A = this chain, B = another copy of it.
Amino acid sequence: MSTPSLLILAGDGIGPEVMAEVTKIIGWYGDKRDMPFDISEDLVGGCAYDKHGTPLHDDTMAKAQEVDAVLLGAVGGPKYDDLDFSVKPERGLLRLRKEMDLFANLRPAQCFDALADFSSLKRDIVAGLDIMIVRELTSGIYFGEPRGIFTEGNERVGINTQRYTESEIDRVARAAFELARRRGNKVCSMEKANVMESGILWREVVTKVHAESYPDVQLSHMYADAGAMQLCRNPKQFDVIVTDNLFGDLLSDAAAMLTGSLGMLPSASLGAPMANGRPKALYEPVHGSAPDIAGQGKANPIACILSFAMALRYSFDQGAEADRLERAVEKVLADGARTPDLMGPEGGTPLTTAQMGDAIIEAL
């Protein structure tokens, strides 16, 4: 197989800093494990707007379609708050998701033992937590038409459309069931079928996919509001959660926060297999661009590094190498290595972004 290709879109805020550490780690894999990657870099978000007047240039979009995987840092910042909706930094990210058709967004919510005390939840409620939220990422209210601000009579009205076809629900449900089989074998599907017809169709299709193709997996359904409650009350009851784009946005952020490990959480966004059998894929940390700490060496690179671990697992079939990287992260944390966001009352060794990257390479 030819050298796998990666497109790095570091983006805005702390994006470039955390991505620099990932680049080091990719280099380590090339040097020490004989796993070279063919890397190109480009712009997305506010920095792309600054240069090209658009948060994602067509050439960048075309490159993203060709590579084996995209690694993204973060987009956005207060500097861009007043931009028109159509050129906001987020539109660059949303265009990538949509045009690469990355329908399955995998967001693990894991609580690292060494960090369990960081959670606002009690230790016994989160310690050992390991759930996977599968969020539909290319449809629903994020993309449905009609949308916009229109004038009706003498006032304006803001409209967005939630829209799910059977096949859109089918494919993300399959992704969730497949994952569950490799984990705890349980899927909980969340919607508001009690008030939304799109939720009724969602529940129906998930139920059908389950009965036809995954009867061995345990399936349950929950209204999304009850799901938000249960995530706060007893998150360990879940294994895989599958839900739509908007519910997934809120629920996965809430779940991420519960772990106390926000600066630690990666994500993978996967699409259909390409000609070479690999899925279209984009990997990014769950945290945002954190403009308040950008450029100060304070950012925690672990979420971005673990996103690369997900790339090893889901794009390059290197599960053992992904495990190795994840174990290296666990080890440095257990040894007390701490970026400022991880510095709690019990102390630890204060590290900069770059020092944390180095420590992880050391542990590898």
Contacts and interface: CB of A to CB of B under 8 A. Distances in A.
Interface of A: 76, 85, 88, 90, 94, 120-122, 125, 141-142, 144, 147-149, 152, 155-167, 192, 194-202, 224-226, 228-234, 246-247, 249-251, 253-254, 256-258, 262
Contacts of A157: 163-166, 201
A162 B141 contact: yes
Number of copies: 2
| SS of A interface (majority) | helix
B197 A85 contact: yes
Given A155-B165, A156-B165, A200-B149, A90 B195 contact: yes
Contacts of A156: 165-166, 201
Contacts of A141: 141, 162, 196
B229 A253 contact: yes
Nearest to A229: B257
A166 B150 CA distance: 11
A148 B201 CA distance: 9
Nearest to A155: B166
A161 B158 contact: no
B163 A120 contact: no
8 contacts: A76-B194, A120-B234, A155-B167, A158-B162, A160-B198, A162-B162, A228-B251, A233-B257
Nearest to A226: B253
Contacts of A225: 249-250, 253
Contacts of A148: 197
Contacts of A125: 120
A158 B228 contact: no
